[in-house]
Amino acid sequence: MFARYGFGEIRTPIFEDTQLFARGVGEETDIVSKEMYTWEDRARAQSEKAQSLTLRPENTAGVVRAYIEHKLGERGDLQKLFYIGPQFRRERPQRGRYRQFWQIGVEVLGPVSSGAESPVRDAEVLEMLATLLDELGIKGWRLELNSVGSSDDRKRYNAALREALAPVKSQMCEDNQRRAETNPLRVLDSKDPHDQDIINALPKIADFLDDASRAHFAAVLSALDACGVAYTVNPRLVRGLDYYTRTTFEFTVPDGSGLGTQNALLGGGRYDGLSEMLGGPKAPGIGFAIGEDRLILTLQAQAAAQALDVRTPNLEPSKLDAYIAPIGVERNAAALALARELRRAGLSVEVGDGTFRLKKSFEAADKLARHIVILGEDELATDTATVKIFATGQQVKVAMAALGGHLKTI
């Protein structure tokens, strides 16, 4: 899917300098303040200045760091990158949420001249996600999106939130009381059920967007309409990371899709100022991350709901083309050589062992492969192989030179 949309793979380190996440993700986010696995590099401390390292809790900051370090912006073109790999957060474990979890994500960024700031990039990413979920067979997904505006818009909105929260923050949970002081925007991201009435009464960010942010968001929605991608504008959707600007979004799945009370399958947004925040050039960008573990749970739950057994034969791995059964240990080397030749011809092959009795070889072969190729003294002497087709029970002698073609045609 990513190749069809012009993306290439990037692989970044599992751990990075702690300040990368503190500066990029935000000191007051739950990720940085509570959830990161961080340690001092003792080996470095013995000979150089001490360094704090952190297992990556997310991958956008690492990709942007790599973009800056390797001067990808100097190429002048749009960078469309994808990654698949583990992330780490010390969250409370629950269904679909693990302390080591896997994400599939993309980042689209580059200099302004590359079109990285265009709303068409936002819409393309969202259209690609809708296509991906459809092709995977995810049922009932829902796209929610919002605009959190520019950094100036957010400053004005934060001031309004702080003022609105002042008389009611004492009624909120401890985390939201702290957020009301340090970063009021994070209050909107709270899932505490007791605080939702207060949160729903707070000012809406849409009322604080400047003309440029309004126009950008309108263009994103227009492009989605043109592509036929259904969406819902959610004025409370802000996402949990400080680097987001303008478009933010989540894809959710219906209750009963295997994720328990947390029905968000993936999310992302635009981060136009992140590169400058990390000391790099201006490089507007947008990206997303899918929780791979959550994606698999959703696929399994929806398959079960449709009364499909995920162990049905058509969903099992295909059987191998052949199982080679050497008769006697002195034929083991010849069996391995034959397997190498067949594999190089594009066939999938397993090799038995000459110590096995023939009955054991047949039992093993029947579980793994469509054919058993018997290699004994007579076969090696006549440069032939005895082949049995399990589906029909037919057993034939085949010249070694023709064996590969024979196995491909039956």
pLDDT tier for residue 343 given thresholds of 50, 70 and 90: very high
Q: How confident is the model at residue 236 (pLDDT cuts 50, 70, 90)?
A: confident
Strand partners, 232: 144
Q: Is the pLDDT of residue 16 over 50?
A: yes
- Per-residue pLDDT at 256: 63
Spans of all domains in the chain: 3-149+231-305, 151-209, 317-409
370 has pLDDT over 80: yes
The yes-or-no verdict on residue 365 having pLDDT over 90 is yes
Architecture of the domain spanning 3-149+231-305: 2-Layer Sandwich (3.30)
Give the pLDDT band of residue 90 (cuts 50, 70, 90): confident
| Rounded Cα distance, 343 and 345, in Å | 5
Write out the CATH class of domain 317-409: alpha beta
Which residues, listed in sequence order, are joined to residue 286 by a DSSP beta bridge? 108, 270
Q: What mean pLDDT comes out for the span 307-312?
A: 48
Lowest mean pLDDT among 152-166, 184-198, 300-314, 331-345: 300-314
| Per-residue pLDDT, 329 | 93
The whole-number pLDDT of residue 41 equals: 84
Asked if 3-149+231-305 and 317-409 have one fold, the answer is no
pLDDT (tens digit per residue) in 33-51: 678 888 888 776 666 677 8
DSSP per residue, 87-149: EE--PPPBTTB-SEEEEEEEEEE--GGGTTT-HHHHHHHHHHHHHHHHHHT--S-EEEEEE--
Whether 263 shows a pLDDT value over 50: the answer reads yes
pTM, 2 dp: 0.77
